[in-house]
Amino acid sequence: MEKKKFYITTPIYYPSDKLHIGHTYCTVATDVLARYHRLLGEDVMFLTGTDEHGQKIGDIAAAAGVTPQEFVDRIVEGPRGIKDLWKLMNISNDRFIRTTDGYHVQSVQRIFKRMHDNGDIYKGTYKGKYCKPCESFWTESQLVDGKCPDCGREVQDAEEEAYFFRLSKYAGKIRDLLENTDFLEPRSRVHEMVRNFIDPGLEDLCVSRTSFSWGVPVDFDPGHVVYVWVDALSNYITALGYENDRYDDYEKGWWPGVNIVGKEIVRFHSIIWPAMLMSLGEPVPKKCFGHGWLLLDGGKMSKSKGNVVDPYILAEQFGVDALRFFLMRTFPFGSDGNFSNELLIQTINTDLANDLGNLVSRTTAMVGKYFGGALPAGCGTWAEEVPFDKELKDLAGSLRDRYAAEMDCFAPHKALEEIFKVIQRANKYIDENTPWTLAKDMEQNGPRLAHVLYNLLEAARICGVLLVPFMPESMDKLFAQTGAGESARTWESAARWGGLSETAAVAKGENLFPRVDMGKALEELEAAVEAARQAESGVELEPQLTEKVDFDTFCKSDFRVVKVKSCEAVKKSEKLLKFILDDGTGTDRQILSGIHKWYEPEDLVGKTLVAIVNLPPRKMMGHESNGMLISAVHKEKGEEVLHLLMVDDAIPAGAKLC
């Protein structure tokens, strides 16, 4: 029988900047859903990609002195770029689309032409407000306090010849789609869309620009490029081969698919996108799910606010699976949530180290200790039913259906809640049965102990199967430790208590999730963030010396404030400058310093500097130097940079530094 097809997408990301934990949240969530559908046995196509056109990218590239193509190539394909991040996060996308891919460009041109030919795109004059960072046009009435309603930034007046899409024509159909179907979820987003955009009246949408060129050219009208949202939204079908020869999956039943998007782009996905598809005579998506934002200190993360959280650093410090799990466990998928490092560490310690990790390590350790790593045949059944055996079996045995119900309505956080009820019940079951007491008399209690341990392995296995979409690598380890073979890892086996072979080889392996020391981890994180910041700015600092000097030795160094009376380059030397300094003693002091590379002598006259004045005199190029001027040095992009230490001119010459 042919497998059911399931097509799911993330938004395609702007490669204007590094991706942060908010973007990672969106992609991990979609990956979890894709993996869930694979676990169900469906034929899954998971698409992600990058949205590379538009004025903003053109401007940033120009500022960086590279072509837009070079710029996006670096951010998408380069080291620690977008593709690298998804690889690190174990994202299982089947396809990656770049809107600069030739086949996509060709499809967009054809899509634009089809909508033009059927009368839904016409030429007019655009007058309005444009938000450059969001690449969105707004009418006066849509602005909030005169600013962009999405990001709150300034908008500009804009007027130019442009093509328009007859969005207004589709208002009735879109209202119907939103109000009378379950196309858009959560439902709260439906009310938002209807109230803010449909009720006030849908206006036609400007869909071409002439003021910049970094975009898909309108092939029948040179000078116009396609408005980025028409270009970007089309990716969901061009990646299947719609209007191109690169793929032929569009006709094969993948479309319509499920679009997972962040809340600020629900408007584009639930109004403009279905209207475009209606105009093309194609089916609208099965679902648009608008998830919430991860906030930091209550606000949205953005590079310009300097509050982005780097997923590379978190994944490297805590492990990819722990990070994936935290994102899905902590924040209800449809709502906003406040990110914090403390919350991440707490979640790892409570759920992963204490609850799940402990269950697996205690159980596998006991199978090793009391049964040499394999339980005896027959341990799966127990004649006299004990109430807590039944409770555990019933709860774990029925988990799969409760889990599926939550996953099917895009509530991975609730599916995890169900799993953790079973894990907690299993840990309680250990305390109820006190295996270590049973083990004191193996002859009498051995069979009962084996049954208890089998039940624990079974509960852990079932939870493991259902956790695969969230933490694929760690669950492979869990299966290896609990002895769950291929047939005990399937979706079917998760609803079957007793799926684990009674005599499976159990091996206590490495701790699945080590406990994290909060204080130490926070300090390490801070250092990692600082190192990344320096690496990004190209600044390298000398490592601090660990060798200590005693205080008395330090106090012997005599640092004084000095004023530059004159300064000149030393003849025949490229580096040396000769300073005559007022050091407060009434006698001029001469110091030579090799800093000509960074300073011109005339710029230093009159400056107030710091010198160490009790070094023994030294001859340099035939001139005596009595001391040394103090500077700060670091490296930037491999080059040494020096700054003379300059202090407030109000400090008199000769003042001692202590």
293 makes contact with ligand MSP (CB under 6 A)? yes
14 makes contact with ligand MSP (CB under 6 A)? yes
Nearer to ligand MSP, 51 or 351 (CB): 51
Whether the bond into 15 is cis, omega within 30 of 0? no
Nearer to ligand MSP, 327 or 516 (CB): 327
277 makes contact with ligand MSP (CB under 6 A)? no
Residue of 410, 469, 367, 416 lying closest to 260 (CA atoms): 410
Binding-site member from 34, 155, 261, 567 for ligand MSP (CB under 6 A): 261
Round to whole Å and give the CA distance between 133 and 129.
12
Give the shortest CB-228-to-ligand MSP separation in angstroms.
Answer: 8
Query: Do the beta carbons of residue 225 and residue 216 sit within 8 Å?
Result: yes
25 makes contact with ligand MSP (CB under 6 A)? yes
Round to whole Å and give the CA distance between 29 and 327.
8
Which residues ranging from 49 to 78 are in contact with ligand MSP (CB under 6 A)?
Answer: 51
Among the residue ranges 10-18, 360-368, 473-481, 565-573, the one whose residues contact ligand MSP (CB under 6 A):
10-18
Residue of 260, 262, 126 lying closest to 204 (CA atoms): 126
Give the shortest CB-623-to-ligand MSP separation in angstroms.
Answer: 60
Among the residue ranges 165-173, 262-270, 370-378, 414-422, the one whose residues contact ligand MSP (CB under 6 A):
262-270
Report the 10 Å Cβ neighbour count for 408. Answer: 13
262 makes contact with ligand MSP (CB under 6 A)? yes
Give the shortest CB-23-to-ligand MSP separation in angstroms.
Answer: 4
23 makes contact with ligand MSP (CB under 6 A)? yes
170 makes contact with ligand MSP (CB under 6 A)? no
Among the residue ranges 152-160, 256-264, 386-394, 403-411, the one whose residues contact ligand MSP (CB under 6 A):
256-264
Nearer to ligand MSP, 265 or 453 (CB): 265
Give the shortest CB-336-to-ligand MSP separation in angstroms.
Answer: 8
Give the shortest CB-526-to-ligand MSP separation in angstroms.
Answer: 21
Round to whole Å and give the CA distance between 627 and 620.
12
301 makes contact with ligand MSP (CB under 6 A)? yes
Residue of 373, 384, 385 lying closest to 450 (CA atoms): 373
- Extract the tokens encoding 579: 């300073």
Nearer to ligand MSP, 59 or 221 (CB): 59
579 makes contact with ligand MSP (CB under 6 A)? no
Report the 10 Å Cβ neighbour count for 291. Answer: 25
91 makes contact with ligand MSP (CB under 6 A)? no
Give, in order, the Cα–Cα distances in Å from 124 to each of 60, 164, 166, 207: 29, 7, 12, 11
- Extract the tokens encoding 386: 């004990």
46 makes contact with ligand MSP (CB under 6 A)? no
Give the shortest CB-276-to-ligand MSP separation in angstroms.
Answer: 11
SS3 of residue 620 by DSSP: strand
308 makes contact with ligand MSP (CB under 6 A)? no
Among the residue ranges 205-213, 292-300, 574-582, 640-648, the one whose residues contact ligand MSP (CB under 6 A):
292-300
Nearer to ligand MSP, 232 or 516 (CB): 232
Report the 10 Å Cβ neighbour count for 343. Answer: 14
- Extract the tokens encoding 109: 């041109």
Residue of 163, 165, 167, 166 lying closest to 208 (CA atoms): 163
Nearer to ligand MSP, 13 or 163 (CB): 13
Whether the bond into 186 is cis, omega within 30 of 0? yes
524 makes contact with ligand MSP (CB under 6 A)? no
SS3 of residue 78 by DSSP: coil
Which residues ranging from 534 to 563 are in contact with ligand MSP (CB under 6 A)?
Answer: none
DSSP code per residue over 268-317? IIIIIHHHHHHHHT-PPPSEEEEE--EEETTEE--GGGT----HHHHHHH
Nearer to ligand MSP, 22 or 357 (CB): 22
Among the residue ranges 89-97, 293-301, 348-356, 405-413, the one whose residues contact ligand MSP (CB under 6 A):
293-301
Nearer to ligand MSP, 89 or 576 (CB): 89
Among the residue ranges 21-29, 144-152, 181-189, 619-627, the one whose residues contact ligand MSP (CB under 6 A):
21-29
**Looking at residue 349, what DSSP letter applies?**
I
Give the shortest CB-203-to-ligand MSP separation in angstroms.
Answer: 21
Query: Do the beta carbons of residue 134 and residue 16 sit within 8 Å?
Result: no
Round to whole Å and give the CA distance between 326 and 470.
10
426 makes contact with ligand MSP (CB under 6 A)? no
Give the shortest CB-429-to-ligand MSP separation in angstroms.
Answer: 38
Nearer to ligand MSP, 170 or 331 (CB): 331
As a residue count, the chain comes to 658
SS3 of residue 136 by DSSP: strand
233 makes contact with ligand MSP (CB under 6 A)? yes
Round to whole Å and give the CA distance between 151 and 133.
8
Round to whole Å and give the CA distance between 559 and 656.
6
- Extract the tokens encoding 57: 């990218």
Give the shortest CB-232-to-ligand MSP separation in angstroms.
Answer: 4
410 makes contact with ligand MSP (CB under 6 A)? no
Helices 273-280 and 171-180 pack at an angle, to 10 degrees, of 120
Nearer to ligand MSP, 225 or 475 (CB): 225
Binding-site member from 97, 193, 232, 592 for ligand MSP (CB under 6 A): 232
Torsion sign (Cα): 107, 108, 113, 118: positive
12 makes contact with ligand MSP (CB under 6 A)? yes
264 makes contact with ligand MSP (CB under 6 A)? yes
Nearer to ligand MSP, 98 or 224 (CB): 98
Give the shortest CB-83-to-ligand MSP separation in angstroms.
Answer: 14
Query: Do the beta carbons of residue 184 and residue 334 sit within 8 Å?
Result: no
Alpha helices in 40-67 (DSSP H): 55-64
DSSP code per residue over 149-201? TTT--B-EEEEEEEEEE-GGGGHHHHHHHHHHSS-EESHHHHHHHIIIIITT-
Binding footprint of ligand MSP, residue count (CB under 6 A): 20
Q: Which residues of 219-240 are buried (b: 16+ CB within 10 A; e: fewer)?
A: eeeeebbbbbbbbbbbbbbbbb
Binding-site member from 26, 75, 167, 592 for ligand MSP (CB under 6 A): 26
Nearer to ligand MSP, 92 or 307 (CB): 307
Binding-site member from 45, 277, 294, 348 for ligand MSP (CB under 6 A): 294
Which residue number is nearest to ligand MSP in terms of Cβ?
Answer: 262
Q: How far is CA 61 from the centre of its chain?
A: 23
Nearer to ligand MSP, 53 or 224 (CB): 53
Q: Give residues in contact with ligand MSP (CB under 6 A).
A: 11-14, 22-23, 25-26, 51, 232-233, 235, 261-262, 264-265, 293-294, 300-301
